[in-house]
């Protein structure tokens, strides 16, 4: 009895995957075969990987409806109410519009409206490590050739972009509200140097909050634990920053510049040290 002849049917070979971050290079080579020898598909560098991770994290945060509603409320509704209610009563209590105290109070509100939307950075950062670990989607990133600094920096940047976007809108709405309700001349009451320093503190404080929350999130196992611990740690920090912001107007130009540069140094140091001390292999072995 003859054994059946082997089937002559051939299955198509599986195409080798092309890294998604280099798809445009592969398409260019397909259009120009002569350049194939000069193209090398390599892994992206730390800066590019950081941006890719941050862009993905920010896109997910913008797609969350609850976060979007809160962001729009803090960015639009709160500044308008602040101008209509608080600023109107404040200006009525100063018969002399040239009083420096009035300008200082108006400038301090720039810090207030800018910081309110940044509260959401704690929740976003809490979900970057602990939340993704719970959902089982952190392992592919940990197994990638991306460095710890690129991963940690991308997660922090991704947690900063959404709230900082709403903060920019809030600052613009507040300034526009002053011009609409009290006239463009009211903007001249804002002291220039303190106003710029208070506005510059908003992204720095947001980065600090995101770095602390990411540090906690990378060390705990659950999203709820990361969010609760992050809120408890940052709650007194918010109070201290607001108190310092109120006194910051009396520090002078040198003091304002020192405060901005000092907080910038703290943010960079905290992010780098957190990434360097992060037990990536330990996390990967437990996932």
The domain spans of the chain are: 51-285
pLDDT in tens, 149-193: 888 899 999 999 999 999 999 999 999 998 988 888 878 888 888
In the structure, what pLDDT confidence band is assigned to residue 80 with cuts at 50, 70 and 90?
very high
Higher-pLDDT residue of 286 and 238 is 238
Averaged pLDDT for residues 259-277: 89
Averaged pLDDT for residues 58-76: 89
Question: Closest Cα to residue 159, out of 214, 202, 234, 115?
Answer: 214
Angle at 123 between CA 260 and CA 234, to 5 degrees: 50
Residue 22: per-residue pLDDT: 43
Residue 283: per-residue pLDDT: 65
Residue 129: both structure tokens together: 């490590």
CB count in 10 Å sphere of residue 72: 14
pLDDT in tens, 116-136: 998 888 889 888 888 888 888
CA distances from 274 to 85, 155, 188, 236 (A): 42, 12, 43, 21
CB count in 10 Å sphere of residue 147: 15
What is the model's pTM?
0.77
Residue 43: per-residue pLDDT: 64
From the number of C-beta atoms within 10 Å of its C-beta (0-12, 13-18, 19+), residue 90 rates as middle
Query: Does the structure show a pLDDT above 70 at 31?
Result: no
Residue 42: per-residue pLDDT: 59
CB count in 10 Å sphere of residue 138: 20
> Among the residues of 87-131, which ranges form H helices?
88-92, 100-115, 120-126
Is there a contact between 126 and 226 (Cβ–Cβ < 8 Å)? Answer: yes
């Amino acid at each position: 009895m003859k054994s059946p002849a082997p089937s002559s049917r051939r299955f198509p070979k599986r195409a080798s995957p092309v890294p998604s971050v280099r798809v445009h290079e592969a398409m260019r080579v397909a259009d120009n075969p002569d350049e194939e020898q000069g193209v090398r598909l390599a892994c992206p560098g730390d800066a590019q990987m950081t941006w890719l991770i941050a862009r993905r994290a920010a896109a997910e945060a913008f797609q969350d409806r609850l976060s979007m509603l809160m962001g729009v409320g803090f960015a639009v509704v709160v500044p308008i109410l602040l101008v209509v209610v608080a600023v109107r009563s404040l200006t009525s209590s100063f018969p002399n519009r040239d009083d420096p105290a009035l300008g200082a109070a108006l400038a301090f509100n720039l810090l207030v409206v800018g910081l309110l939307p940044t509260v959401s950075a704690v929740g976003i950062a809490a979900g970057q490590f602990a939340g993704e670990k719970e959902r089982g989607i952190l392992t592919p990133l940990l197994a990638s050739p991306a460095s710890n600094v690129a991963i940690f920096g991308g997660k922090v940047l991704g947690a900063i972009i959404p709230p900082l976007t709403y903060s920019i809108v809030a600052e613009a709405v507040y300034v526009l509200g002053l011009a609409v309700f009290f006239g463009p001349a009211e903007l001249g009451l804002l002291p220039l140097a303190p106003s710029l320093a208070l506005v510059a503190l908003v992204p720095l404080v947001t980065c600090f909050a995101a770095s602390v929350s990411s540090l906690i999130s990378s060390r705990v196992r659950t999203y709820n634990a990361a969010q609760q611990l992050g809120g408890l740690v940052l709650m007194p920090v918010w109070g201290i920053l607001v108190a310092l912001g109120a006194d910051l107007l009396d520090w002078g130009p040198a003091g304002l510049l020192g405060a901005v540069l000092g907080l910038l140094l703290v943010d960079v140091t905290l992010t780098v040290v957190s990434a360097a001390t992060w037990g990536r292999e330990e996390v990967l072995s437990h996932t």
